[in-house]
């Protein structure tokens, strides 16, 4: 599939997701912890609570950032053939994830949770292998950029 088609598919899903970002943020985060319960201790949102906070601005803002950065990544793959994250942003994300002890397998967990969240959001009549592939590719390039920054900093 061409990058241009992938961009269209990612944007199509995003248009649907936009209207329910608070709920999708919680679904996304809950799914991460369902797949990897041990990741719980990495996140400051959960420090003082047993349950996932349903109304935590930081959790929501971060989750939405992950959605948006993945969309941006699809746009850039189409326009430039590679993912370009502003250098300061990338350096910051590299250091945050390094400090929190993020490992390669964690990136697979977040990827799977992201894909499931998008699938639920768009519904079975819109979700298909092409859309899954488009989000996968966009996420993989973004994750690779963050991982490279983490390696550079370690
Ligand atoms: C924080 C994005 C993958 C764990 C953040 C923040 C963003 C972000 C935007 C907020 C930084 C801030 O403003 O302080 C991403 C993206 C990812 C990714 C785009 C993949 C492409 C992961 C993975 C893990 C992870 C794989 C491991 C499970 C965390 C943790 C924080 C964080 C623990 C700090 C949250 C806190 O306690 O404040 N991430 N992330 N992230 N991320 Fe990720
Ligand atoms: C930070 N990094 C990756 C995924 C996330 C999901 C929810 C909240 C914060 C996150």
pLDDT number for residue 102: 96
Q: Nearest-CA neighbor of 145 among 61, 77, 63? A: 77
Residue nearest atom 34 in ligand 1 by C-alpha distance:
43
Q: What distance in Å separates the CA atoms of residue 41 and residue 11, rounded to the nearest whole number?
A: 33
1 or 65, which is more confident: 65
Q: Nearest-CA neighbor of 106 among 37, 152, 45? A: 37
pTM comes to 0.96
Query: What is the torsional sign of CA 129, 37, 31, 73?
Result: negative
| ipTM value for the complex | 0.97
Q: Calculate how far, in angstroms, residue 125's C-alpha sits from the geometric centre of ligand 1.
A: 30
The predicted-structure confidence for 110-147, as pLDDT tens digits, reads as follows 999 999 999 999 999 999 999 999 999 999 999 999 99
pLDDT above 70 covers a percentage of the chain that reads 100
The predicted-structure confidence for 138-151, as pLDDT tens digits, reads as follows 999 999 999 999 99
Site residues for ligand 2, CB cut-off 6 Å: 28-29, 32, 59, 62-63, 66, 110
Q: What distance in Å separates the CA atoms of residue 37 and residue 39, rounded to the nearest whole number?
A: 5
Q: Calculate how far, in angstroms, residue 62's C-alpha sits from the geometric centre of ligand 2.
A: 5
Angle, helix 57-80 to helix 21-35, in steps of 10 degrees: 90
Tokens for 117?
A: 């969240």
Residue nearest atom 22 in ligand 1 by C-alpha distance:
107
pLDDT number for residue 55: 86
Q: Calculate how far, in angstroms, residue 113's C-alpha sits from the geometric centre of ligand 1.
A: 13
Tokens for 48?
A: 């003082």
Listed in sequence order, the residues at least 6 apart from 43 whose beta carbon sits closer than 8 Å to its beta carbon are 59
The predicted-structure confidence for 37-93, as pLDDT tens digits, reads as follows 989 889 998 877 788 888 889 999 999 999 999 999 999 999 999 998 999 999 999
Q: What distance in Å separates the CA atoms of residue 54 and residue 45, rounded to the nearest whole number?
A: 11
């Amino acid at each position: 599939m061409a990058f241009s088609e992938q961009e269209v598919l990612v944007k199509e899903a995003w248009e649907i997701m936009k209207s329910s970002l608070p709920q999708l943020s919680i679904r996304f985060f809950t799914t991460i912890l369902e797949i990897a319960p041990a990741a719980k201790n990495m996140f400051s949102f959960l420090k003082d609570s047993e349950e996932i906070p349903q109304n935590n601005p930081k959790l929501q803002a971060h989750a939405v950032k992950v959605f948006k950065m993945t969309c941006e990544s699809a746009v850039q793959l189409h326009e430039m053939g590679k993912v370009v994250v502003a250098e300061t942003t990338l350096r910051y994300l590299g250091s945050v994830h390094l400090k929190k002890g993020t490992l390669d397998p964690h990136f697979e967990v977040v990827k799977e949770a992201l894909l499931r969240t998008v699938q639920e959001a768009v519904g079975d009549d819109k979700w298909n292998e092409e859309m899954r592939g488009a989000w996968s590719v966009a996420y993989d390039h973004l994750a690779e950029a963050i991982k490279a920054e983490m390696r550079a900093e370690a």
